[in-house]
Amino acid sequence: MPFKMLPGKFYRMPVNFGQSLGPRQRGSDQVLFSEHGPKATNIAVYFRTNKKKLEALLPERFVMASDPIACVRATYLKEIPWLAGRGYNHMGLTIPATFKGKRDLVTGEYLTILWENLCDPIITGREDLGYPKIYCELPEPVLHAGKMHCTASWLGFKFMDLHISNLREATAKEIGQFSNPESEGVLTYKYMPRTGEWGTADTEYVTLTPFKDPYKKVTELWMGDGSVQFHKATWEELPTLYNIVNVLSALKATEWLGITIVKTVGAKDYSDQRILM
């Protein structure tokens, strides 16, 4: 008898092996998300840059929500329940933006790209949630003599350096100065190409991940000075990424606004992800 998919269950390729496992469909009796895990260290660098260059990264029906402030955020995750205690890291660039749809009017952080260093969250995040995820190498930060250094690379070619100095403990109010109180969550643009009809979308729409997370608890807050640099690359150095990296390398900072480090424990399963129209 041929394989038949069951209604209401998660499936990803290859579908012929049955229901797909991951953060929103269990493969065991273990709790996949709770107040106990995962543990995360979020490092964010904020800077002002050219408004026109930031606007060029926004899809149609988006407008800049505030000053031309970009944020590069690197997150290092450990003790992830749905990965049986393993972890992974990710890094992306966000822009404060407002989506003006036919039904929805939502202000949030538009996520232009998200690099991750593990295949499993890339697949589940792209297909289930619509996040713009791609792969790169993201080693743990190096901390020495009061300074921190983060890097990103692809098959040995380093395309990003993030430097941090003058770290000090911070308050929630100090960290909050970098947030837009009107921001509702993370905005992304899901796009999947149609096979054989090149240049045509199989599906495309805007999604929202609400910030609200009943499980997440902040354990440490830090502030400091910092900067980030993307290194211009050739096609030979980054055959599938150089166009992305070179656009980011052209986002020159006109003012460095500082860095934040937020350590948390616990997380939701992102099942509250929804399509905006």
In a domain, 8, yes or no: no
- Overall number of domains in the chain: 1
The mean per-residue pLDDT over the stretch 58-86 comes to 95
Domain encompassing residue 43: 31-268
Q: Rounded to the nearest 10 degrees, how much is the dihedral formed by the CA atoms of 157, 192, 204, 6?
A: -130
In a domain, 135, yes or no: yes
Assess whether the previous peptide bond of 38 is cis (omega < 30° from 0). Answer: yes
Are 109 and 183 spatial neighbours (Cβ–Cβ below 8 Å)? yes
pLDDT of residue 171: 95
The mean per-residue pLDDT over the stretch 138-156 comes to 96
Per-residue pLDDT band at 150 (split at 50, 70, 90): very high
Give me the residue label for tokens 């329940």. 81
pLDDT digits (tens, 9 = 90+) for 75-123: 999 999 999 999 999 999 999 999 999 999 999 999 999 999 999 999 9
pLDDT of residue 248: 98
In a domain, 22, yes or no: no
Phi-psi group of 146: left, alpha or beta (phi > 0 → left; psi -120 to 50 → alpha; rest → beta)? left
CA distance 109 to 116: 18
Q: What percent of the chain has pLDDT over 90?
A: 85
In a domain, 189, yes or no: yes
In a domain, 144, yes or no: yes
Measured in residues, the chain has a length of 277
pLDDT digits (tens, 9 = 90+) for 228-276: 999 999 999 999 999 999 999 999 999 999 999 999 999 999 999 999 9
Q: What percent of the chain has pLDDT over 70?
A: 100
> Which three-class secondary structure state does DSSP give residue 176?
helix
In a domain, 12, yes or no: no
pLDDT digits (tens, 9 = 90+) for 26-42: 777 778 888 888 999 99
Burial grade of 96 (CB within 10 A; 0-12, 13-18, 19 or more)? buried
> Which tokens sit at 44?
């964010």
pLDDT digits (tens, 9 = 90+) for 213-229: 999 999 999 999 999 99
pLDDT of residue 32: 81
> Which three-class secondary structure state does DSSP give residue 249?
helix
The CATH number of the domain holding residue 47 is 2.40.400.10
In a domain, 17, yes or no: no
In a domain, 2, yes or no: no
Q: What is the pTM (predicted TM-score) of this model?
A: 0.95
CA distance 2 to 5: 10
State the pairing for strand pair 133-135/105-116.
parallel
Residues 6+ apart with CB under 8 A from 94: 70, 71, 73, 109, 110, 111, 112, 186
